[in-house]
Structures are given as structure tokens and as C-alpha cells.
Amino acid sequence: SVSHFPKVDKLVDMGEGVYRWEMQRVGTAQVGIQTVHACKYASDRKKGTVTWTPVKGVGNAQIHGSWKASEKKGATNIVFKTAGQVEVALPALMKMIVVPVVHGEFEKLVEKYIDNLIKTFGGEA
């Protein structure tokens, strides 16, 4: 589903179910941040889940989450959860300004991702 996630610059297969996400740079001309993170993915067909856990030491973010698919009235119900933390190497005063912007951008990207999936596969948010 990575093709539905906005602003992905590069997805790198690191082997053994681990992928490094390199996002497009966001921000202003003076202050821009490129988020890079890696996750290990695992699926459980019986449980209907896909989970991802952060790979420490890769990039400047730690992202984790899950998909859970189940049948619902002849359709598929998907529950999507994700959360993350981004490390930014900036002075404290700048962090107070930049961190909320990065957080807001992440939320917008996730919302757009879900919208893109709904457009492709149908359904509702």
C-alpha cells in the first residue's frame, strides 16, 4: 500500500521484512526536515493482522502500528493504527515551533493515505 502513501521519496527493502521509508523534505527554505525511519513488518493471516515495529538506529523517527482486517456484513472492516516519534536536532526554541508542524504534517499524510486507499478500494472512513 506504500504507493498510496503521499510524499514518499524512496522505500528501501533492507531484507527480512524490514523497509526504510525516506520521506520528501518538508518545511520552509530556512528550516526543512526529511523524515527517515525503518520498520520491521510481520503478518498473521489467522489473526488478520499486519504489524510494524521500529528498527532502532535507522533514521530520525520511530514509527509503529498495525492493520487488522475482519469480515463485517459481507465486506471487509479494516482497523488502522499508527503512531510515531521524530527526533529533530534543533535548538529548543526552534523545536517548539517545528515539532508541532511535523506532527501536523504526519497526521495529514496519514489522513491522505486513508483517503487514497478508500478511493482505490472503496469504503468509508
Q: Which domain holds residue 75?
A: 2-121
Q: Is the pLDDT of residue 8 over 90?
A: yes
| Averaged pLDDT for residues 39-44 | 98
**In this predicted structure, which of 28-42, 52-66, 93-107 has the lowest mean pLDDT?**
93-107
Question: CA Rg, the chain, in Å?
Answer: 16
What's the total number of domains in the chain?
Answer: 1
Rounded Cα distance, 46 and 32, in Å: 43
Count of Cβ atoms closer than 10 Å to residue 86 Cβ: 19
* pLDDT at res. 97: 80
Report residue 67 as a C-alpha cell: 492493520
| Structure confidence by residue, pLDDT tens digits, 81-125 | 999 998 888 888 888 887 788 888 889 999 999 999 999 988 776
Q: What is the CATH number of the domain that holds 95?
A: 3.30.530.20
- Stated pTM of the model: 0.86
Q: Is the pLDDT of residue 68 over 70?
A: yes
